[in-house]
Amino acid sequence: MTKRLPVRSIFRRYSLCLLLLACGLPGLAQSSETPEAGGRVVLVLPFDNRSGQAALAWVGDSFPDTLNQRLASAGFLTITREDRQYALDHLGLPIDFRPSRATTIRIAQNLDADFVIVGSYNVTNGHIAVQAQVLEVKNLRLSAPLEDSSELNRLFDVENAVAWKVARQMDPHFNVAQQTFLAASGGVQLSAFENYIRGTDAPTSQERIKRLQAAVLVNPNYPAALLALGKAQYADRDYEQAAATFAKIAPTDRRSLEANFYIGLARFNTAKYAEAESAFAFVASRLPLPEVVNNQAVASSRQGHNAVPLFQRASTADPNDPDYHYNLAVALYRQGDFAGAKREVDLTLKLRPADGEAAQLKTSISAGRTISSPASAAPSASTSASSDFDPLERIRRTYSEASFRQAAFELDQMRALRLGTLPPGEQAAEYTRQGHEYLSQGLVPEAEQEFQTAIAADASSAEAHAGLAEVRERSGNAADARNEAQYSLKLHPNVAAYLILARLDLGANDTAASAVNVSKALQLEPKDGAAQGMRQALQARGQSLP
């Protein structure tokens, strides 16, 4: 079993890697300090089924999935299902074990969690009642029960409401509206959600794929189910189908990073190196972790390209990884830089003395033998035994969701520190820009946090209030959306606020009022595409602009 580092240890490692990659620094001392997610690491355990109905056991397993998504959007670092299972295995406990409070604390300490969420549910006559509690690990303090209930077919509402109450319990200053959480599930049908949860927990590959295909059949654009299905197909070595499944996840969805990492591996495994390089480059452009940059470099090298600069980026970012030094040694050797290749292979052997391939590579370098590009190399019957060794760079075949999410979390922390040095108006503008970026990805809770932070930095930001108005509009709170839009316009006339009011008026069948607001938007920006679209919609209803 592979030994895993505690969450915060991985967190520090990826903080350093990101700083090196993002800043292009040649190196940092091992004692360098980077911002840490103190008090934000959360472990959500499956909720106990007290209904007496075994067929509803999947509901308990669904709570970590939903709560992890919502709490991550609230700025917490949630621990993945895989790491939770690792902790149970590490403690010699079965995966479906329901721990006591003492064992829960041991699991949390093993995973370096600050909070643990435990809970239970009961179902009677199609009605579900849930209670959750927050265990603060450091102080060994358990919160009072946080309760919610509804009809079982509104399970998403219950889980999102519980997630909001949990976030407020852990962070009393959390200011995202409950309605925003309630609207965050994106129209996934309950039957698709059930098949997704059952599929991720299925004991066999065949059942896993069958369940996940059923989820996607009901909701074809269900990104979580598509990602899980693609991974199941990839594990079955059905690389073409896996790549096709992953490709259905929209590039704007945050799961597209993991999806494209696996697209890269799937294409690499079928020798489609250009497509593999493109997929890895997509991920590296957004989250430039060393394993991604390394894989981009390997795929580039397989096409006969000089990938030395990419391998140098990966090795510089994580200088304690012997594979990155080995890959750089091979790439330098292929370019005829024998001195550089020897330096890198020596570092490989220093970090991993028993690396047989690295020892062979060092022998070849010392003998001054040459190697060809992997794209042009062809086996030869006359090749002597002494030159049979043909080194190839090593690719990373595993995606660590926890590591990637921790790295993304760290980027947000570093961004917050950087923005904190700016004047209030510039802070508000940056947070507002990121809020709109989240909205474009359908991440409404994350967007609200950005807009609220922008308003906290500069309450006079008309753009931030307009952004918050759009969040309220998307979450179905028309009254608050109208209030925010009107306040935004009071601060400063802007197209976004006028169009929100126009859409609200149109939704209320008040086409005359909608036309007035569209007209005002076009007076500010005559060529605005959204305003032009609204004018066409009104004209289709027989309403002209004043």
- Give the burial class of 417: count Cβ atoms within 10 A of its Cβ; 0-12 exposed, 13-18 middle, 19 or more buried: exposed
Token pair 């189910």: residue: 225
Lowest mean pLDDT among 73-82, 381-390, 516-525: 381-390
pLDDT value of residue 32: 33
Contacts of residue 5, defined as CB under 8 A and 6 or more positions apart, other chains included, come to: 13
Q: Which CATH architecture has domain 1-36+270-372+400-406?
A: Alpha Horseshoe (1.25)
Check whether 533 has a pLDDT greater than 60: yes
Read off the pLDDT of residues 34-48 as tens digits, 9 standing for 90 and up: 334 446 889 999 999
Distance, in Å, from the CA atom of 175 to the CA atom of 114, rounded to the nearest integer, reads 21
Read off the pLDDT of residues 379-391 as tens digits, 9 standing for 90 and up: 433 333 345 678 9
pLDDT value of residue 16: 42
pLDDT value of residue 368: 79
- Partnered with residue 116 across adjacent β-strands are 43, 135
Kindly state the helix (H) or strand (E) to which residue 424 belongs, with its residue range: helix 424-440
pLDDT value of residue 385: 38
Check whether 288 has a pLDDT greater than 90: no
Cα dihedral 77/10/287/238 (nearest 10):
-100
CATH superfamily of 38-185: ABC-type transport auxiliary lipoprotein component (3.40.50.10610)
pLDDT value of residue 3: 43
Kindly state the helix (H) or strand (E) to which residue 142 belongs, with its residue range: strand 141-142
- DSSP-derived 3-state class of residue 31: coil
pLDDT value of residue 490: 97
pLDDT value of residue 506: 94
> Any idea where the domains of the chain sit in the sequence?
1-36+270-372+400-406, 38-185, 187-249, 407-540
Check whether 438 has a pLDDT greater than 80: yes
pLDDT value of residue 361: 94
pLDDT value of residue 110: 75
Mean pLDDT of 129-146: 93
Q: How far is CA 300 from the centre of its chain?
A: 25
Give the gyration radius of the chain's Cα atoms.
Answer: 27
Distance, in Å, from the CA atom of 417 to the CA atom of 15, rounded to the nearest integer, reads 14
Q: Work out the mean pLDDT of the chain and round it to a whole number.
A: 86
pLDDT value of residue 373: 64
Distance, in Å, from the CA atom of 40 to the CA atom of 412, rounded to the nearest integer, reads 13
Mean pLDDT of 464-470: 97
pLDDT value of residue 375: 60
Q: How many residues does the chain have?
A: 546
Q: Which of 39, 4, 45 is nearest to 137 (CA)?
A: 39
Lowest mean pLDDT among 97-106, 140-149, 229-238: 97-106
| Among 70-84, 350-364, 403-417, the range of highest mean pLDDT | 350-364
Q: φ and ψ at 221, to 5 degrees?
A: -105, 30
Q: Do domains 38-185 and 187-249 have the same CATH topology?
A: no
pLDDT value of residue 97: 66
- DSSP-derived 3-state class of residue 127: strand
Token pair 């350093």: residue: 16
| DSSP annotation string for 477-528 | -HHHHHHHHHHHHHH---HHHHHHHHHHHHHTT-HHHHHHHHHHHHHH-TT-
- Give the burial class of 398: count Cβ atoms within 10 A of its Cβ; 0-12 exposed, 13-18 middle, 19 or more buried: exposed
In angstroms, how far is the first alpha carbon of the chain from the final one?
Answer: 71
pLDDT value of residue 38: 45
Check whether 1 has a pLDDT greater than 70: no
Distance, in Å, from the CA atom of 401 to the CA atom of 332, rounded to the nearest integer, reads 31
Q: How far is CA 305 from the centre of its chain?
A: 31
Q: Which of 27, 8, 15 is nearest to 316 (CA)?
A: 27
The structure's pTM equals 0.81
Taking a C-beta distance cutoff of 8 angstroms, is the pair 97, 123 a contact?
Answer: no
Q: φ and ψ at 321, to 5 degrees?
A: -100, 115
407-540: CATH, from 1.25.40.10, 3.20.20.10, 3.30.1360.30, 2.40.30.10: 1.25.40.10
Lowest mean pLDDT among 252-261, 307-316, 461-470: 252-261
Check whether 120 has a pLDDT greater than 90: yes
Distance, in Å, from the CA atom of 153 to the CA atom of 296, rounded to the nearest integer, reads 45
Mean pLDDT of 150-158: 94
Kindly state the helix (H) or strand (E) to which residue 387 belongs, with its residue range: none
**Residue range 187-249, CATH number:** 1.25.40.10
Check whether 21 has a pLDDT greater than 70: no
Kindly state the helix (H) or strand (E) to which residue 129 belongs, with its residue range: strand 127-136
Confidence grade of residue 441 (pLDDT, cut at 50, 70, 90) = confident
Check whether 415 has a pLDDT greater than 70: yes
Distance, in Å, from the CA atom of 293 to the CA atom of 202, rounded to the nearest integer, reads 33
For Cα atoms 159, 163, 166, give the angle at the middle one, nearest 5 degrees.
135
Mean pLDDT of 302-319: 94
Q: What is the 3-state secondary structure (H, E, C) of 302-346?
A: HCCCCCHHHHHHHHHHCCCCHHHHHHHHHHHHHCCCHHHHHHHHH
